[in-house]
Structure 1
């Protein structure tokens, strides 16, 4: 039963019904109430970042693995240059993809 409920929640989030899921979780009265409330707070905090169907349709990755992997190489490599000093007027800015 638990796995069915979790799959329903994940499927709803996956299809863009985050607000509806948050509302359901906030009103949860069953077992694990605090855990479910914590999940609702987490989803509320990141509600603008979980539109997975939209992101998939744009060809964007939805897992954090690619981002976590990239952060090890791109910013850290730039920030760990020996003897480097940083000033807004002299820094070579990173590409802006927006």
Structure 2
């Protein structure tokens, strides 16, 4: 069996080389994590922006439909005031009866 003799400087050099490789690997992992975290943050920011725009569009559509419904009801009341008053009175009596039972 052949043995190779190593002195202390050879081992020290190997330890320094391992330390340098570990430092390089650590830096590579840090950069990789930073890049992916940045990409994830950008994707989250973009998704939040799209959700915000969708919410605004939905709210605007609901507001528009609400105004349209109010205008339609107002038109029906204007065309038929007596039935509208009778319906409103009936609804009022119904609600009053429900509340009065408690």
- Identify the TM-score tier after normalising by the shorter chain: under 0.3
| Alignment TM-score, normalising by the size of structure 2 | 0.21
Larger radius of gyration: 2
| Alignment TM-score, normalising by the size of structure 1 | 0.21
Larger helix fraction of residues: 2
Higher relative contact order (CA 8 A, sep 6+): 1
